Structure 1
């Protein structure tokens, strides 16, 4: 795991994933392949699906039309554009309008309209002058409460109470009575309702609506603006049901006020919905009520959608519900990373035991006649056959299609927020049935696109492609979605990604695979050090994941790794089988154009690549005590330029600052500057202290080849010589075997120098030093994405150290030396217990009423096992060597040994 030093202020208690910390944006963690915003009625954009905000925000506010501006535009005879009308109504200054009224317009737009404009629309301009005068004050006055704590010194103190109430009401009354045009008259009525509402004269606001707005039989924008204010006044009078109903009417009939009116409804309980449903007289009102109920309670969308379908299968709000439902499914079928199941043993066993997995039925794209001929000759002349073979790389098309880990696939409990019901329902079948019947009733191609997309998620690629091919539409948003889905179906339905298909990708879809920085969905995004959330996941990113998954399932681990990672990332998780596969790709002689431009570009900043691989292989050989092999690899790693830690910082206690790592020729860089204390033993158990404090040197006088500072080649050579000496029978052989045992223990997960053979720069804690709980050689299930966040290095073999210690113990005649060696053997035996313990966790549900009893039983069982099987050397040390000086020294430096001796 990358050792980034990050200060975490708080972690969200609602998130269930490890990556979902305080800075995480859940709406940044899915691909949005089905673009929700293609709905035609853009006024419902806020009600599309997202997690990070209450309302959907991934759109431009200008996409939602303002019916008030549209109303004014019609009033002015459509001689102004929407933008010009908005400027005139909302942005032009009061002074400019007064100049127009005087016949001397200075504003460019008003000059263009001319003085005749005022003469023709005198009442409208006079109204706008009055409205602009009132507007800065049209907000309710804030009343400080006993618990108020907000700092408001710099807040605008203008509100409705700052105006003279009687003068303002009198002026608006006069203007209302003088107006001849009904719409202008109603707009003055709106100002009267609003002014009374904001001055908290709620009763007067209600009366003003009845007297000035309602009698004018117009139900355009001014009416619903006034109704919105009336509902606010009714809320102030505690008339909750009346307020909700009127806000509901505003929600239904206003385009720009849907979000605000929805919030104002305060539909917090079933009674509020029931009251609205009871008053719903028309089919449209009932349909809208079902929509609100479905939006507020989205745990099971299909029943509510069925009710809406029965009323109007072609309604726009039904498409909104469908978009939300598809988005929810997409987040579970196409997350930006497929995490392992919480039940890791079941999850990880799935790949190792194919006979126990349930095969996924996939409708495959039928091969063309020409493809069948090509496949026939490939098989005939030495191509890979379609029969079953033992090689993962030679799986048949059927085997590849039926692999349960072939993405897209449903990930259970992929929700970002905690729910009491953690068994999420995969409602894709129900939604598919609903979509299929709706597309037969509705004339909107939306339902065909939705149906095709659901079939894509279900891996029904042939049917999905057929539906897309039959869609006839001129809607540009629909066309863009269809184009994207055709590409998705083509790539995801391909059974195997081979050289020919890679050529097809580069020829026909270069916009998704040409590696350069451009707009979203046009390229494979190059990762830089973005602030905050970085570039949003794109279609190209999804396709990259698909290909990484395909290579992974095909056994091409190196290519799979490099689709999502850089070569330098191997430093965080250098397990040998993956390293070998990556190296094989690196050395592949005739790479395809796709491999060269898309994959090989990630063979990056490790300096000398051959030395990089050689260092990793040498490290593994050292962990296996194969010192000769390690020496041969380290000979090839002489040009190793250091572990590439460009973003690494560590805390300097002397300066009190985090400092960037710089290899200065004296510190350990992954190859050089290893101190001879690696042959020593613990003075006390501490990873944080300096090696001079934590480690104690042995007597090296008989072994002049052990240098004060060594590189790995010199260290391996020293171990080769020690092993040869250790075959003897004398005291020197005893010491040689003890020193080898020390190196193997000190560089294990428990040792002070645990970083030396796992490509790490120091021993500070991290995922590399966890005891892994699986026997599997590869913990990854789908691909190697987020590789640096999942650490797995082959576990230590503590028996290797114990065997060398045992040779030393058996040969030695010195009781003090025997005591020291026994303690070292006991320490290594501890490692064997920790490995066993990690693989045999209790996994007791904390909600179990007998949790304490079961946990105590588990701990007793593990304690008994520890003492019976993993304390043999401690027991021998206690029974046979407790009277040695070494044992007495250990009592003072090892608290656990002290505890064990007193039992």
Structure 2
């Protein structure tokens, strides 16, 4: 299926960041190393930070305390556990309670309440019987309108209006008056308010609260349940300000109803917040109001946090804001994939996106400022520079000779801040790490919770100040298990990420101390994570460390090891760049590998069959694209045990069945080495990659070349080309024909040719990242490491001059005018490839926001068109001027619409 993913990536080249798709989960795009849920007050868990839903959901609902269950447990004198109380209140059947009332219960849970439990808890049990009877009906009656859009197929049709209004109110009022326990009495008042709210008797609901709930001087669970219903009735009466204030009180005082109260507040404008802030009489209420405002507007949380700090630096909700802020920063500093910002000036991938001025396109390298050097470090650096040459520093091979200081100061050493434009944010997004660090440093001095020390240590980790981070962690004294787990994790991160160079000695250290982070095991959730996932295992601490090491190896010049940290050896097939392949092969052949290299890195060299044959096919393919047929033949001789391009999960479309079918090498189809038809030496009848080769291609006359077999493997193909090359050194028509066949083969296996898959480790010619004219002036488009390797084009471009040179030799040797016409057309086709390469490197940098975009774009298109006709139509012009009277030219006009247009201009 990777072929399909790659095709999607090609479509996505118009976007700098193509992961922001409808099927992507933004909460999988960072490693979540700072566990937000370590906040002590679990009632605020829904208000932690995430993108994929309005409220944070990565926790068990049982973690949020429910004051109603706590109140009932206290009512039953703590004789049953919290979970048992929850079951009794919310799930136990009404019949079981009626049996208890009759004195004949067999329920084990009710027996735990002790003998005579009904008499002891009579009022509470009677209330629960009544509440369970009412509960199925306690929904507001939904009124359908012509504009309604509400999916209710699986909902119960019951609602409060189906109860007899007078009898229900009378029964609840009677029970209220008969109850002696104030708490139970208030619960009946709550039922009266709720029933009137849900029957849309809003005025009566308000009066019921005043008459039955307010007079009882209790402000526990029942009171805030009733206040919640009162606010709902006020909303029904268009009393928005009063409703908001009462929902605000529920939010502030209830543990289990914060999320629903927040939704009900409908704080959609500044005036709503200001009204609450004006009415806030206590510091706690003011603090809560600032929290709500900060929660809604989270572009830069620091100003609101400062206000909350001034009120109470020990506030629990201030920790929630801090957790959200750290999470927001972490998404920019620790994404699961760093985009290669340095490509912005060199690749068509970024140039195809909406272009901006260079001043607005800061790269991650510019944004990641290295630490200021000490005076002594500057002296050391001076002498190093004095006695080393520029050429020494510029060579990739000398990455391994970098000093510890040079490695530590590399701006591409992750964590690196990258501006995330994929999810919901515009240009207002800022890097507030410095401000947040100052805030946490200040707060930890006044607050009495170790949380702030942990937060401060983590922010210093993001700033790459690992020494300071570790010192803070060492000083923390706590018995909180969640805090201890976070501290342990951060110490591991600081140790590994701070190490200057990953050498053999440190790899041994990793295996001795941190082996659990690197030995693969099935991971369903990260440490301290309880939520469920629908997208497979979420990014974990272990996966972050794997990325860190991949990045370190990359910066050290150990590309092969860097690649294998994130990829399988078989992934090289998707971008068989020979420089990277050589680095991977060097690691493969490295003697005396460390234990880490053997168990963690080398294990990814699997599923390619014979590894030596796999490498030699790639090298042979590259030699063929460079027209070095003798070298290709040597490699293919070593590749005869090649078992086929490893496409275990690959499916392709079968036009005969109309289905996507699993690829099976049956000995007849092309497998990366065998079953290449002699049509590879032929020419196009018409250009259609989807058609069968016999429909798109036509064979040349191979009579004089018996070594060209109807079907060949790559060794036989290379051998045939070696013989053709020797024959091409002659001076006769056979020599001309031999050179033509070589030119045909080079063109047909280029990006424009029907057999373009033959020398790029692909199984067919269907579209994908290998088949674009993307190019870069650098050896690699990668800035950090080789993650997402299969989604980035990384393959050397075709050299169309090679085909042109063979065609020119054929043209000079041939005396046949018809053959010359055909040769010129083939040369024009190859020349077209050179134009496409030029075009890909010279995209128009016109901002879509430019009011004159259309005018400038048209001018640019005209300029490119003029250039194409002046510099890249040489052979079309020659064909038109000298060979328009040939049968070949007339035939080509019928099969090539552009040539027909060109000839008639």
TM range (shorter): over 0.9
Partners of 2:372 and 2:181 in 1: how far apart?
65
User: In the TM superposition, what whole-angstrom CA distance separates every residue of 1:596-655 from its partner, at most 9, and x where no partner exists?
Assistant: 000000010111100000000000000000000000000000100000011111111111
Kindly indicate whether the alpha-carbon contact (under 8 Å) linking 2:291 and 2:318 is maintained by their aligned counterparts in 1.
yes
Select which of 592, 608, 611 maps to 1:609: 611
Match of 2:291 in 1: 291
Identify the range of structure 1 (866-875 vs 118-127) with the bigger mean alpha-carbon deviation: 118-127
Partners of 1:532 and 1:184 in 2: how far apart?
43
Match of 1:669 in 2: 671
User: In the TM superposition, what whole-angstrom CA distance separates every residue of 1:492-530 from its partner, at most 9, and x where no partner exists?
Assistant: 00100000000000001111112333564589xxxxxx9
| C-alpha displacement of 1:153 | 5.8
Kindly indicate whether the alpha-carbon contact (under 8 Å) linking 2:523 and 2:537 is maintained by their aligned counterparts in 1.
no
User: In the TM superposition, what whole-angstrom CA distance separates every residue of 1:190-233 from its partner, at most 9, and x where no partner exists?
Assistant: 01000000111000000000111111111111110000000000
User: In the TM superposition, what whole-angstrom CA distance separates every residue of 1:438-483 from its partner, at most 9, and x where no partner exists?
Assistant: 1111011101100000110110111001110111100000000000
Aligned 1:227-242 pairs, distance under 5 A: 227-242=227-242
Partners of 1:651 and 1:284 in 2: how far apart?
64
User: In the TM superposition, what whole-angstrom CA distance separates every residue of 1:34-83 from its partner, at most 9, and x where no partner exists?
Assistant: 00000000000000000100000000000001001111222222222212
* SS across alignment from 1:105: coil
Match of 1:589 in 2: 591
Kindly indicate whether the alpha-carbon contact (under 8 Å) linking 1:389 and 1:395 is maintained by their aligned counterparts in 2.
no
Select which of 825, 828, 835 maps to 2:827: 825
Match of 1:251 in 2: 251
Match of 1:270 in 2: 270
Identify the range of structure 1 (878-887 vs 589-598) with the bigger mean alpha-carbon deviation: 878-887
Partners of 1:531 and 1:282 in 2: how far apart?
41
Match of 2:36 in 1: 36
Match of 1:330 in 2: 330
Q: Within the alignment, does 1:424 sit opposite 2:426 as a pair?
A: no
**Could you tell me the TM-score, scaled by structure 1's length?**
0.93
Match of 2:82 in 1: 82
Q: Per the alignment, do residues 532 and 234 of structure 1 end up closer, same or farther by CA in structure 2, a change over 3 Å counting?
A: closer
Partners of 2:509 and 2:674 in 1: how far apart?
46
User: In the TM superposition, what whole-angstrom CA distance separates every residue of 1:244-271 from its partner, at most 9, and x where no partner exists?
Assistant: 1100000000000000000001111111
Partners of 2:92 and 2:534 in 1: how far apart?
37
| C-alpha displacement of 1:800 | 0.4
Kindly indicate whether the alpha-carbon contact (under 8 Å) linking 1:359 and 1:403 is maintained by their aligned counterparts in 2.
no
Kindly indicate whether the alpha-carbon contact (under 8 Å) linking 1:66 and 1:255 is maintained by their aligned counterparts in 2.
yes
Match of 2:410 in 1: 403
Match of 2:854 in 1: 852
* SS across alignment from 2:341: coil
Aligned 1:641-720 pairs, distance under 5 A: 641-720=643-722
Q: Within the alignment, does 1:436 sit opposite 2:402 as a pair?
A: no
| C-alpha displacement of 1:16 | 7.7
Partners of 2:876 and 2:583 in 1: how far apart?
42
Kindly indicate whether the alpha-carbon contact (under 8 Å) linking 1:105 and 1:115 is maintained by their aligned counterparts in 2.
no
Aligned 1:735-754 pairs, distance under 5 A: 735-754=737-756
Select which of 540, 550, 554 maps to 1:548: 550
Kindly indicate whether the alpha-carbon contact (under 8 Å) linking 1:512 and 1:522 is maintained by their aligned counterparts in 2.
no
Partners of 1:71 and 1:7 in 2: how far apart?
59
User: In the TM superposition, what whole-angstrom CA distance separates every residue of 1:678-722 from its partner, at most 9, and x where no partner exists?
Assistant: 001111111111110100111110100111000101111111111
User: In the TM superposition, what whole-angstrom CA distance separates every residue of 1:306-329 from its partner, at most 9, and x where no partner exists?
Assistant: 111111111011100110010011
Q: Over the residues paired in the alignment, what is the CA RMSD in angstroms? A: 2.6
Aligned 1:46-65 pairs, distance under 5 A: 46-65=46-65
Task: Identify the structure with bigger relative contact order (alpha carbons < 8 Å, sequence gap 6+).
Answer: 2
Match of 1:887 in 2: 889
Q: Per the alignment, do residues 359 and 209 of structure 1 end up closer, same or farther by CA in structure 2, a change over 3 Å counting?
A: closer
Partners of 1:815 and 1:55 in 2: how far apart?
76
Partners of 1:849 and 1:205 in 2: how far apart?
59
Select which of 382, 392, 402 maps to 2:399: 392
Aligned 1:101-140 pairs, distance under 5 A: 101-140=101-140
Kindly indicate whether the alpha-carbon contact (under 8 Å) linking 1:5 and 1:650 is maintained by their aligned counterparts in 2.
no
* SS across alignment from 1:444: coil
Identify the range of structure 1 (395-404 vs 150-159) with the bigger mean alpha-carbon deviation: 150-159
Match of 2:621 in 1: 619
Aligned 1:460-479 pairs, distance under 5 A: 460-479=465-484
Q: Within the alignment, does 1:361 sit opposite 2:367 as a pair?
A: no
Match of 1:374 in 2: none
Which portions of structure 1, spanning 4 or more consecutive aligned residues, are displaced by more than 4 angstroms? 5-8, 149-154, 346-350, 356-359, 387-390, 518-523
Kindly indicate whether the alpha-carbon contact (under 8 Å) linking 1:189 and 1:212 is maintained by their aligned counterparts in 2.
yes
Aligned 1:492-511 pairs, distance under 5 A: 492-511=497-516
Match of 1:384 in 2: none
Q: Per the alignment, do residues 57 and 359 of structure 1 end up closer, same or farther by CA in structure 2, a change over 3 Å counting?
A: closer
Partners of 1:709 and 1:125 in 2: how far apart?
87
Match of 1:373 in 2: none
* SS across alignment from 1:142: coil
Partners of 2:843 and 2:631 in 1: how far apart?
36
Aligned 1:297-308 pairs, distance under 5 A: 297-308=297-308
Q: Per the alignment, do residues 168 and 15 of structure 1 end up closer, same or farther by CA in structure 2, a change over 3 Å counting?
A: farther
Q: Per the alignment, do residues 302 and 359 of structure 1 end up closer, same or farther by CA in structure 2, a change over 3 Å counting?
A: closer
**Could you tell me the TM-score, scaled by structure 2's length?**
0.93
Partners of 2:197 and 2:372 in 1: how far apart?
62
Select which of 769, 772, 775 maps to 2:771: 769
Kindly indicate whether the alpha-carbon contact (under 8 Å) linking 1:228 and 1:247 is maintained by their aligned counterparts in 2.
yes
Kindly indicate whether the alpha-carbon contact (under 8 Å) linking 2:821 and 2:886 is maintained by their aligned counterparts in 1.
yes
User: In the TM superposition, what whole-angstrom CA distance separates every residue of 1:838-867 from its partner, at most 9, and x where no partner exists?
Assistant: 011002111110101110111111111111
Aligned 1:92-103 pairs, distance under 5 A: 92-103=92-103
| C-alpha displacement of 1:152 | 4.5
| C-alpha displacement of 1:105 | 1.9
Partners of 1:15 and 1:719 in 2: how far apart?
42
Identify the range of structure 1 (398-407 vs 631-640) with the bigger mean alpha-carbon deviation: 398-407
Match of 2:355 in 1: none
Partners of 2:414 and 2:153 in 1: how far apart?
55
* SS across alignment from 1:658: strand
Select which of 474, 478, 481 maps to 2:486: 481
| C-alpha displacement of 1:899 | 1.3
Select which of 506, 516, 522 maps to 2:521: 516
Kindly indicate whether the alpha-carbon contact (under 8 Å) linking 2:299 and 2:428 is maintained by their aligned counterparts in 1.
no
Partners of 1:340 and 1:619 in 2: how far apart?
28
| C-alpha displacement of 1:7 | 12
Q: Per the alignment, do residues 693 and 260 of structure 1 end up closer, same or farther by CA in structure 2, a change over 3 Å counting?
A: same
Identify the range of structure 1 (65-74 vs 203-212) with the bigger mean alpha-carbon deviation: 65-74
Kindly indicate whether the alpha-carbon contact (under 8 Å) linking 1:345 and 1:774 is maintained by their aligned counterparts in 2.
no
| C-alpha displacement of 1:357 | 6.1
Q: Per the alignment, do residues 900 and 756 of structure 1 end up closer, same or farther by CA in structure 2, a change over 3 Å counting?
A: same
Kindly indicate whether the alpha-carbon contact (under 8 Å) linking 1:515 and 1:597 is maintained by their aligned counterparts in 2.
no
Select which of 776, 779, 789 maps to 2:781: 779
Partners of 1:235 and 1:6 in 2: how far apart?
52
Match of 1:190 in 2: 190
| C-alpha displacement of 1:15 | 10
Aligned 1:372-387 pairs, distance under 5 A: none
| C-alpha displacement of 1:346 | 6.6
Partners of 1:85 and 1:816 in 2: how far apart?
95
* SS across alignment from 1:80: coil
Partners of 1:604 and 1:884 in 2: how far apart?
55
Partners of 2:154 and 2:46 in 1: how far apart?
31
Which segments of 5 or more consecutive residues in structure 2 lack a partner in the other structure?
352-357, 377-383, 385-391
Partners of 1:277 and 1:520 in 2: how far apart?
40
Q: Within the alignment, does 1:221 sit opposite 2:228 as a pair?
A: no
Aligned 1:839-878 pairs, distance under 5 A: 839-878=841-880
Select which of 760, 763, 771 maps to 1:758: 760
Partners of 1:811 and 1:283 in 2: how far apart?
95
